[in-house]
Structure 1
Amino acid sequence: MAEGELQKPLPRLVQEGKLALLQEEMKNVEDLIKDVKRKHFGRSGDTLLHYAARNGHLSVLRYLVEVLEMDLELFNNDYKRPLHEAASMGHQDCLLYLLDRGAAVDCLKKSDWTPLMMACTRRKLEVIQDLVQHGANPLLKNKDGWNCFHIACREGDPGVIQYLLDVSPNIWVTESKIKRTPLHTAAMHGCLEVVQVLLERCHYEPDSADKCGVTPFMDAIQNGHLDIAQLLLDKHKEGHAGTVKTLLFLGADVNAKDGKNRTALHMACAGQHATCVQILLQAGLQDSPDITGTHARQLVRKSSLLQLFKEADISV
């Protein structure tokens, strides 16, 4: 049988974790073991180590490393090492094994992603802790200027955010290449609990804008996360009139509603932000009830806001 035909079953056996069958197959290609040790399979260029680490088969991983003596730092076409695979899939036992065998903790794949960044794409705090405890640098950035904190803020696990702030208190002081902060990221993706942590523990400037002039508040509004928009309003107490004007200029949907059927007018009235209310009413936003039947005008407490609704011929 041709060499290529002999090697074909190997990735499947590794992916399925069938160690005994893998060992049997390897006996059939004993003269080819040297080649198999460095063989790259498929379009991705994965090695057998990549398959084992990605699928979480520790016994197979041990066999490949300790018996076949495969190189832990073999990389595929995206420059992923086996450690990237274990980290990205949250396989703690495989990750610890690779680290204990000396795998480089801050190895880089394509676009300069580290295993810690990959781990932060999942809500597995223990894997992130293992990497940090083995020396992973949380402050490293990928080609877009994101560090692992940006990525964790996108995924929305407040426990991970708290941990990263504990081990690296200044990790929040970071911007991507287009000046987007972790607060932008959390607001855009609707991660309310993370936004709460960031506002409690970090010191972001009100209305910090990226290169396009977009603020976290704008991100929240444009993506329908009105609970986060309200939180940002309450925190900064600025009214965000300029932001509202910018959003309307950019064509934001003035009638957008959150999961409780509240509009931006509800948020502005709840925060008693007269200038925002005025802008929204002038833009033609109609006062509609939320899921409890409450109209925005019923949240008004200030006389200046009452006057705005009277001028707009809306009874309060």
Structure 2
Amino acid sequence: MSLKKESRTDVQFHLAALRGDCDRLRQLLDTGKVHIDSRDRDGTTPLILAAAMGHTDCVRELLAQGADPACCRTTGTSALFFAAQGGFLDIARLLLDAGAAIDAPSSDGGTPLFVACQCGHLPVVDELISRGANVNSCMKDKATPLFIAAQNGHDNVCAALVRGGADLTAARCDRASPLWIAAQCGHHRVARTLLRAGAHVDQLRQDGATPLFKAAHKGHAAVVAELLKYNPELGLLPNGQSALHGAAMFGALSCVRVLAPAADRSLRNAAGHTALQAAAAARRPRVVAYLRALDQRDDTTYSTEQ
């Protein structure tokens, strides 16, 4: 996009929009010396600035005087994109009523819905979905609005997206699913929401790790507990480890405590180690002590029963 150099009046016009000064906007427009959609060197218009800063009255005035809601910056970001990012529901409604493209993407594929989900702005998310926003749009890396909401721990937004038809299995380029990313980040409420909606508990990332393995090795015991309710794979995974091995090797004792009673502690990983041996090799003394005590207790119980 080739943009002409801004005049002094253009700069004043942009500053008035940035500051939310409606009176000054009208004064400058009345001079006839500025164009309603004048752009700076990044392609930013007064409408985009007013929307980004949450100046509802300025947005209303600019639209009434003919500002184009379709104008975008050189990055592809529109006034609606910034209103959604800021959580400015009234401004988003004004722009949509004026004909703003609901799914207009930025250069990296992000839509207004995507950034509203990223920031956890549920009222804006609900509004965009109700007006037909594509809940399964994706970034260049294939991340969807559901993925980014899960990554950021916005369980209420995830629930809204699921109600709106979001694909629970849609994965990023590395095949990480929304559930997988929620597990990695330790968002147990998001994991609960996705699992209740039918997310596949063992959907693998490209490295062969399940959500359970990732939560276990990251030490997110609350996520592990949620996943265990859905009968996840506890045996060896394509990466040569089990979830218990992952927790043991990384010293995640809280996860070892949750997993050990349910898992086969005699299971050996690709290196031929049990979880106890893997913990010892990784110098995780607290995990070693716990697993040894558990084994000794089980041996005592078995002997008593005999």
Q: Report the TM-score when normalising by structure 1.
A: 0.79
CA RMSD of aligned residues (A): 3.3
Alignment of 1:1-316 (within 5 A): 4-27=7-30, 30-34=31-35, 37-42=36-41, 44-67=42-65, 69-168=66-165, 171-206=167-202, 208-242=203-237, 245-246=240-241, 254-257=249-252, 262-271=253-262, 273-275=264-266, 279-283=274-278, 284=280, 285-287=284-286, 300=294, 306-307=298-299
Q: Separation in 1 of the partners of 2:175 and 2:242? A: 19
Closer, same or farther in 2 for the Cα pair 1:180/1:90, shift >3 Å? Answer: same
CA contact (8 A) 1:123 1:157 kept: yes
Shift of 1:25: 3.8
Identify unmatched segments of 5+ residues in structure 2: none
User: How far apart, CA to CA, are the structure 2 residues paired with 1:11 and 1:184?
Assistant: 43
- Alpha-carbon deviation of 1:183? 0.8
C-alpha separation in 2, matches of 1:276 and 1:191: 28
In 1, Cα distance between equivalents of 2:185 and 2:15: 37
**In structure 2, do the counterparts of structure 1 residues 14 and 215 end up closer, same or farther at CA, with 3 Å as the change threshold?**
same
Distance verdict in 2 for CA 1:244–1:106, change over 3 Å: closer
**For the Cα contact (< 8 Å) 1:157–1:194, is it kept in 2?**
yes
- CA distance in 2: counterparts of 1:83 and 1:304, whole angstroms: 63
Asked if 1 retains the 8 angstrom alpha-carbon contact of 2:219 and 2:255, the reply is: no
- Residue 270 of structure 1 contacts residue 296 of structure 1 at CA under 8 Å; is this kept in 2? no
Aligned mates of 1:247, 1:145 — CA distance in 2:
28
Structure 1 contact 265–287 (Cα < 8 Å) conserved: no
Once the two structures are TM-superposed, the CA of residue 212 in structure 1 deviates from its matched residue by: 2.5
Deviation larger for 73-82 or 265-274: 265-274
CA distance in 1 between counterparts of 2:267 and 2:286 reads 14
Percent identity among equivalent residues? Answer: 23
The unaligned stretches of length 5 or more in structure 1 are 311-316
Read off the aligned partner of 1:165 and give its amino acid letter: V
- Summarize the Cα distance change of 1:205–1:295 in structure 2 as closer, same or farther, 3 Å threshold: closer
Structure 1 residue 11: deviation in Å?
2.5
Q: What SS class does the counterpart of residue 115 from structure 2 fall into?
A: helix
Q: Say if 1:165 and 1:108 are closer, same or farther in 2 by CA, change over 3 A.
A: same
CA distance in 2, matches of 1:163, 1:86: 19
Deviation at 1:31, TM superposition (A): 3.5
What TM-score do the two structures reach when normalised by structure 2? 0.81
> Are the counterparts in 2 of residues 50 and 81 from structure 1 also a CA contact under 8 Å?
yes
Q: Distance in 2 between matches of 1:209 and 1:193?
A: 20
Q: How far apart are 1:164 and its partner, in Å?
A: 1.7
Distance 2:251 2:137 in 1: 38
Paired residues in the alignment total 289
Q: Does the aligned pair in 2 maintain the 1:255–1:264 contact within 8 Å?
A: no
Instruction: Describe the shift of the 1:237–1:38 C-alpha distance in structure 2 as closer, same or farther (beyond 3 A).
Output: closer
**For each residue in 1:131-167, what CA deviation from the matched residue of structure 2 results, as whole angstroms up to 9, or x when unmatched?**
1111112122222112211122112222222222222
2:248–2:287 contact (8 Å) kept in structure 1: no
Task: Assess, with a 3 A threshold, how the Cα gap between structure 1 residues 246 and 9 changes in structure 2: closer, same or farther.
Answer: farther
**Distance in structure 1 (CA, Å) of the matches to 2:76 and 2:6:** 26
